[in-house]
Amino acid sequence: MIKTLLIGCSVLLLCACGGGGGGTEGNSDNNAVTPTYTAFTSTHMDADNSDIQPIIDRLKDYDVVSLGEPSHSGSVVHFLKSRLLKGMHQQGQLDMIVFEAGFYDGLAAWENYLTGKQPLIEAITGPDANYMYMHRHSLGVSQIVNYVNDVDQVNDPLILVGFDTRINSDPACVVKPELGTSVMLNELETYLVNAAISTEDMAAIHQVAPVMMCPWYTDVVYQGDYDLHWKLLLALFELEAKLTAQVPNETIPAYDPTQPRNFRDYASFWLQIVKGMQAHAKMQYEDYYPVADISSADNVRWLREVWFGATQQTALWAHNIHISKHADTVPTAMKRNQPSLSMYSILVLDNGGTYAPYTPDHTQWKIDTESFTYPDFSLNAKLADMQLPNAFFDFDAENRSNQLFSGGNFIYGVPQGGLVAPHEVMDGMIFIPVEEATKSRYE
């Protein structure tokens, strides 16, 4: 079944003044209709980096580069981001990719990969870790995952993990009643016992945390239940204090991919999990997502500084809403707490095409696709009218003053709607004229 989807003003996000036109390299006239851009000449992972070298050169000196997507259900965006990340590793400074995927899951998958238990593409799929289902089954995402799998992790490392403080994967939750409590929570209790830390808080955490994290496995409703919420939070606050006191007593060996450390053996890791559950609980109870992104930013800090000691460039792969320049997204929270970090945020816009349905059943992706388009007054449509290829725009001084981008713009696929200039919500943009539904890697 094909559904026609016209994204309306409830999705709107940011109204274009200025007109159409065309061109491949743009125009140096600041008031020209055609902005300056770099074209992607291929979506294929095996293409060389010649077409995207200007983008790599623009990004290579930033500490953190964020790559967004307006939906997790598009295919072209996954192929383009995979190509760009490969080029940023080969020709730039990239040494870590952090997905919008579970913090626990990312480390579990990376451990299985380093120890040879699973190829990386299988490790992110399960059973010990589950990345977001639109990612773990995506053919486009598999391109960069398989590239990382084959990298020389000793001499030219490229780490792939997850940042999301929202803990909602199967290993973290009660999957079936006969399995008892979650794998992750059992591992937490095992750590506490081995470290001679009281486990008195775990009863409440075992009872309530899975209900909070994965409500689809239970009939209990967490959101709005004051007593349930505070029962969990009070137990987590107590455990946070105990783990905070334990962290100085432990030394984490330096990262060596040939001698993987078990992250479950350290208070420092479990402290991040406990703080993440607090943020997740507040997000669920208050229905306010930024609190989770602020906590996710701290997970990125921990991954970079504490666990891996990454010294070069980190890329964040996430939905546009989590990596825009608005307050309390992951990169802005990182910048607030680490002012010395340099940041570059790339949002992705599209203008029509098809999306896969948002379901973990990847066999339905090509059967029940959704078609979509945007109104003529949107920036998305104005860019499409210029008959542009897949393209990258840097919002430097020249593009900021271009009449197409100056003043307020209605932009679809960008969070927090309003009349704003593009550079106020992103440093650069990838534009996809025609998106295609996410393709399963099993086909």
Among residues 274, 280, 281, 209, the alpha carbon closest in space to that of 247 is found at 274
User: Alpha-carbon distance 1 to 3, whole Å?
Assistant: 6
For residue 389, what are the contacts with CB-CB under 8 A and spacing of at least 6?
Answer: 24, 39, 40, 41, 433
pLDDT at 345 over 70: yes
Residue 179 binned pLDDT confidence (cut-offs 50, 70, 90): low
Q: What 3 state SS string does the chain have?
A: CCEEEECCCCCCCCCCCCCCCCCCCCCCCCCCCCCCCEECCCCCCCCCCCCCHHHHHHHCCCCEEEECCCCCCECHHHHHHHHHHHHHHHHCCEEEEEEEEEHHHHHHHHHHHHCCCCCHHHHCCCCCCCCCHHHHCEHHHHHHHHHHHCCCCCCCCCEEEEEECCCCCHHHCCCCHHHCCCHHHHHHHHHHHHCCCCCCCHHHHHHHHHHHHCHHHCCCCCCCCHHHHHHHHHHHHHHHHHHHHHHHHCCCCCCCCCCCCCHHHCHHHHHHHHHHHHHHHHHHHHCCCHHHHHHHHHHHHHHHHHHCCCCCEEEEECCHHHHCCCCCCHHHHHHHHCCCCCEEEEEEEECCEEECCCCCCHHHCCCCCEEEECCCCCHHHHHHHCCCCCEEEECCHHHHHCCCCCCCECCCCCCCCCCECHHHCCCEEEEECCECECCECCC
Q: Cα-flanking dihedrals φ and ψ of residue 66, to 5°?
A: -105, 135
Q: How far apart are CA 400 and CA 387, in angstroms?
A: 20
Confidence of residue 177 (pLDDT cuts 50, 70, 90): low
Task: Output the pLDDT for position 9.
Answer: 34
| Tens digit of each residue's pLDDT (9 = 90 or more) over 42-79 | 999 999 999 999 999 999 999 999 999 999 999 999 99
For residue 203, pLDDT over 90 is answered with: yes
- Write the CB contacts of 5 (distance below 8 Å, at least 6 apart in sequence): 355, 370, 371, 372, 373
Whether the pLDDT of residue 320 is over 90: the answer is yes
Q: Which residue, chain included where needed, has tokens 């992706």?
A: 365
- What pLDDT shows up at residue 5? 38
Residue 169 has pLDDT above 90, yes or no: no
Cβ-based burial of 295 (10 A; exposed 0-12, middle 13-18, buried ≥19):
buried
Return the top range by mean pLDDT from 19-28, 33-42, 403-412: 33-42
At 4 the pLDDT is: 36
pLDDT of residue 176: 61
- pLDDT at residue 175 in the model: 66
pLDDT greater than 90 at residue 18? no
Q: Residue 134's pLDDT is what?
A: 83
Task: Give the residue, 27 or 387, on which the prediction is more confident.
Answer: 387
| Chain mean pLDDT for the chain | 90
224-282: pLDDT as tens digits: 899 999 999 999 999 999 999 999 999 999 999 999 999 999 999 999 999 999 999 99
**Assigned token pair, 164:** 């999301």
pLDDT at 1 over 80: no
pLDDT of residue 224: 86
Q: Which two tokens stand for residue 171?
A: 């290993």
Q: CB under 8 Å to 128, separation ≥6 — which residues?
A: 108, 109, 112, 171, 183
- 220 pLDDT tier (thresholds 50, 70, 90): confident
- In the predicted model, is pLDDT for residue 82 greater than 70? yes
pLDDT one-digit tens code per residue, 376-420? 999 999 999 999 999 999 999 999 999 899 888 899 998 866 678
The amino acid at residue 7 is I
pLDDT more than 70, % of the chain: 91
Strand partners, 440: 138
pLDDT (0 to 100) of residue 117: 98
